[in-house]
């Protein structure tokens, strides 16, 4: 990771490592277009921001294409703090897709406020005690009814965990994976977002959840003969039946996803605790 601070102008934040690959954020985008479709269709201004898109603009290009499957007039602005990355992205500018230099202040022209901010692999290099302020700054930029999605994934997007937030704060946590890459669900712990990654220790809710998930996964081993997807679905169903607040259903589980209410996994103490 590159810790170069950028203090000139209004850009707020630090330059990230910038690793990017085509289709890296497909799991997050798939969840957004499914879970946020109603809001996208009903919005007066379907504007999205890809914050910290990295050394190449693939994720911004792909986000626009995926949002336009739901809302044909959607727009995306790629925001990067490194001016060289902005310059490199400019040749990809087209109708509905633009690139600007900036950070957590999310500079947009004409006072526009985005319906969606996607920030993937941006906060990973920050300290945990800076997450609440970063979240507040970002969701403070949202349009009414808007959504902030912040999380972390591996280099090729096979394992991903993200938090969805509204102006009132964090709402949900989603775990998503290419199931064939997992030995057990707790393998996803290495991709927990900054708000949770240091909390995967005994006594913390996220640790309890991943431990319970591994147990449910082990109990569902006989379904492996029917495929890893059926084993995952059974394990998630058992978690729900055991009282974990799973918010989605089999249609999402089949995608290798599970979404829970934030309070069930929130840190036990500190500014990000539930309640």
- Matching CATH number, 26-178+245-262, of 3.40.462.20, 3.40.190.10, 3.30.420.40, 3.40.50.150: 3.40.50.150
Tell me the chain's radius of gyration from C-alpha atoms: 18
Average pLDDT, the chain: 92
Q: What are the beta bridge partners of residue 117? A: 49, 148
**Number of other CB atoms surrounding residue 226 within 10 Å:** 11
* CA pair distance 159, 103, nearest whole angstrom: 25
Cβ proximity of 136 and 152 under 8 Å? no
Cβ proximity of 217 and 184 under 8 Å? yes
pTM of structure: 0.92
The half-sphere exposure of 157 on its side-chain side, counting CA atoms within 13 A, is 14
pLDDT of residue 84: 94
* CA pair distance 59, 18, nearest whole angstrom: 12
Residue 7 has pLDDT above 70, yes or no: no
- Report the phi/psi class of residue 192: left, alpha or beta, with left for phi > 0 and alpha for psi in -120 to 50: beta
Rounded to 5 degrees, what angle do the CA atoms 219, 221, 224 make?
150
pLDDT single digits (tens) 93-144: 999 999 999 989 999 988 899 999 999 999 988 889 899 999 999 999 999 9
Cβ proximity of 61 and 20 under 8 Å? no
pLDDT single digits (tens) 227-255: 999 999 999 999 999 999 999 999 999 99
**Number of other CB atoms surrounding residue 192 within 10 Å:** 23
Domain ranges of the chain: 26-178+245-262
In degrees and rounded to multiples of 5, residue 266 shows phi and psi of -60, 150
Cβ proximity of 116 and 145 under 8 Å? no
Cβ proximity of 101 and 9 under 8 Å? yes
């Amino acid at each position: 990771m590159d810790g170069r601070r950028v203090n000139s102008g209004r850009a707020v934040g630090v330059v990230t490592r910038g690793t990017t690959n085509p289709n890296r954020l497909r799991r997050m985008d798939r969840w957004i277009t499914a879970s946020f479709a109603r809001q996208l269709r009903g919005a007066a201004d379907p504007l999205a921001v890809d914050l910290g898109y990295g050394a190449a603009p693939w994720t911004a290009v792909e986000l626009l294409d995926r949002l336009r499957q739901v809302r044909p007039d959607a727009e995306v602005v790629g925001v990067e703090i490194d001016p060289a990355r902005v310059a490199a992205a400019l040749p990809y500018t087209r109708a509905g897709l633009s690139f600007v230099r900036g950070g957590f202040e999310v500079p947009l022209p004409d006072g526009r406020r985005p319906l969606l901010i996607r920030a993937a692999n941006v906060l990973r290099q920050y300290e945990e005690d800076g997450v609440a302020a970063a979240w507040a700054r970002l969701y403070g930029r949202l349009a009414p009814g808007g959504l902030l999605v912040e999380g972390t994934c591996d280099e090729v997007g096979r394992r991903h965990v993200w938090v969805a937030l509204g102006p009132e704060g964090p709402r949900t946590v989603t775990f998503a994976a290419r199931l064939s890459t997992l030995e057990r669900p707790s393998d996803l712990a290495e991709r927990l977002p900054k708000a949770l990654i240091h909390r995967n220790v005994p006594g913390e809710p996220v640790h309890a959840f991943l431990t319970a998930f591994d147990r449910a996964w082990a109990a569902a081993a006989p379904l492996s003969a029917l495929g890893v997807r059926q084993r995952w679905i059974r394990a998630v169903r058992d978690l729900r039946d055991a009282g974990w607040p799973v918010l989605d259903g089999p249609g999402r589980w089949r995608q290798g996803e599970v979404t829970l209410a934030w309070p069930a996994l929130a840190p036990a103490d500190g500014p990000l605790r539930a309640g």
